[in-house]
Amino acid sequence: MKKTGLMKGIALFAVMALAGAATAGEESPGRWTFSAGPAWRSRVKSSISGRPSDGPSVPASQTTTYDKDIAGHGPWSLSEVEVVGDPYISGSLLYAATRTGTERTVTPGSGATALNDSDIDRPLGISISAGRDFYSSGRFAAGLSLRFAGYWDMKSHACGQSGGGTVTSRSWKDYHLFENGPFPDEDDFTNFKPDSDPYLPYREELGGSSGQTIPGRRICARLSSDLYQVGIGPKLTWRAFDRVDVFGGVEALCNFSHLEAECGEARRTETDCLPGVGARLGLVAYLTDNIGLQVDAGYEWIDEADVSLGGVRAEVDYSSFVATAGIALRF
């Protein structure tokens, strides 16, 4: 939403009020007013959306293991070997030591679920304002108002899941030949070792397992926001009764938004001054000549705040109805 024209109008009205002070201030001395008290916003909407980009819960990998160490094995026994055909001499037989290998492969999944959630806060805060009338005529007065306000600890969170992974495995049996003896008519392996490299034509595939699914890891994003406001603008006051003032005004706002976001292991803060405009209408009932009780309500339009990290975007919409109450002073 473009607010430039409205903000320029507010600034022009403020300049006109200051000009009125220069021309009418001496004839009608300005009145100062102060107020302070709790403030309430009817709606602060925080949204989190996106897909975590910190990777699957199971990284890609491939590992191979064997049930025996051929090179480091001690003397072999007859029960640990098998008789196979000599690959070089037809009709001859040789001993072969065997071992079983297993290969395990992990493939990352792609089925990550996106984060998509929003929360509504209705925070309490504090508001302090000061104003001065630059022009008055009968029951009417015009001036400027300066206001400070703060709201804290507005929160939102959303959770999704990373893609997980799939595990497959296969097994095989390798044959390591005793090429120089002993031969099948002997059974003393004391001085003989099999070749450390398997004779691949004798590799026997033992099969494997189909994909075993590993579930993804739960990933949550959290957002915390604070809002601090400075507003200035013209104010019109009508003395409805001797001790009751009705007032209204518009103001240009500088909204200092502080966001703290985290998603998985990633963390980020973002602080911005967001432009905005507001309009208010209120009433002051004076208990004495200088002390009274004040209530007011209005609406504020504020640009959205946002922060991004790890493929996730968080946004906060502060625009809402506002209301304040408190003690008012005038002199």
**Fold that domain 4-55+115-162+217-330 belongs to in CATH:** Porin (2.40.160)
Q: Which of 21-25, 42-46, 192-196, 199-203 has the lowest mean pLDDT?
A: 21-25
Domain with CATH 2.40.160.20 in the chain: 4-55+115-162+217-330
pLDDT at 200: 64
Q: Which residues contact 236 (CB under 8 A, 6 or more apart)?
A: 140, 141, 142, 247, 248, 249
Least confident interval from 16-30, 54-68, 232-246: 16-30
pLDDT at 90: 83
Query: Which helix H or strand E contains 200, and what residues bound it?
Result: none
Buried b (16+ CB within 10 A) or exposed e, 164-179: bbbbebebbbbbbbbe
CA angle centred on 274, ends 270 and 276, rounded to 5°: 160
Distance CA(4)–CA(12), nearest Å, equals 12
% of the chain exceeding 70 in pLDDT: 86
Whether residue 184 is predicted with pLDDT greater than 60 in this model: the reply is yes
- What mean pLDDT, rounded, does the chain reach? 84
Phi-psi bin for 55: left (phi > 0), alpha (psi -120 to 50), beta? left
Nearest alpha carbon to residue 262 among 114, 54, 118, 121: 54
Query: In sequence order, what are the beta bridge partners of 12?
Result: none
pLDDT tens column, 235-287: 999 999 999 999 999 999 999 999 999 987 889 999 999 999 999 999 999 99
Q: What is the 3-state secondary structure (H, E, C) of 1-58?
A: CCCHHHHHHHHHHHHHHHHHHHHHCCCCCCCEEEEEEEEEECCEEEEEEECCCCCCCC
| Contact indicator for 49, 313 with CB cutoff of 8 Å | yes
How much is the pLDDT for 148?
97
Q: How far apart (Å, rounded) are the C-alpha atoms in residues 238 and 163?
A: 64
pLDDT exceeds cutoff 60 at 27: no
Instruction: Indicate if the pLDDT at residue 129 is higher than 90.
Output: yes
Residue 13 or residue 75, greater confidence: 75
User: What tens digit of pLDDT does each residue of 191-238 get?
Assistant: 888 888 877 667 888 887 767 777 777 788 899 999 999 999 999 999
One-letter amino acid at 9 equals G
For residue 69, what pLDDT is reported? 87
User: Per the structure block, which two tokens stand in for 108?
Assistant: 């990352």
Q: So what's the pLDDT on residue 24?
A: 40
Of the candidates 299, 292, 303, 279, the one whose C-alpha atom is nearest the C-alpha of residue 325 is 292
| pLDDT at residue 201, as a whole number | 65
| Range name among 16-25, 84-93, 178-187 with the lowest pLDDT average | 16-25
Point out the least confidently predicted range of 29-33, 117-121, 154-158, 299-303.
29-33
Those residues whose C-beta lies under 8 Å from the C-beta of residue 36, and which sit 6 or more positions away, are 126, 127, 128, 129, 326, 327
Comparing 35-39, 114-118, 288-292, the range with the smallest average pLDDT is: 114-118
Task: Tell me the torsion sign for CA atoms 18, 234, 283, 295.
Answer: negative
Token reading at 280 = 């208010």
Beta bridge partners of 308: 313
- What's residue 110's pLDDT? 65
* Structure-model confidence comparison of residues 181 and 102, the more confident one: 102
C-alpha distances in Å from residue 171, one per residue of 82, 100, 197: 19, 7, 17
308-325 pLDDT per residue, tens: 987 889 999 999 999 999
Residue 167 tokens, joined: 């595990």
- Of 17-26, 95-104, 166-175, 203-212, the least confident: 17-26
- Asked whether the predicted pLDDT for residue 141 surpasses 90, the reply is yes
Q: Would you give the DSSP letter of residue 202? A: G
pLDDT digits (tens, 9 = 90+) for 70-111: 888 888 888 888 888 887 788 888 888 888 999 988 887 766
SS3 per-residue string spanning 126-178: EEEEEEEEEEEECCEEEEEEEEEEEEEEEEEEEEEECCCEEEEEEEEEEEEEC
Q: Which residue is associated with the tokens 């976001």?
A: 261
Which residue pairs from 29-33 have beta carbons closer than 8 angstroms and sit at least 24 positions apart in sequence? 30/132, 30/133, 30/134, 30/143, 31/132, 31/133, 31/136, 31/141, 31/143, 31/330, 31/331, 32/130, 32/131, 32/132, 32/330, 32/331, 33/129, 33/130, 33/131, 33/132, 33/133, 33/328, 33/329, 33/330
The whole-number pLDDT of residue 53 equals: 61
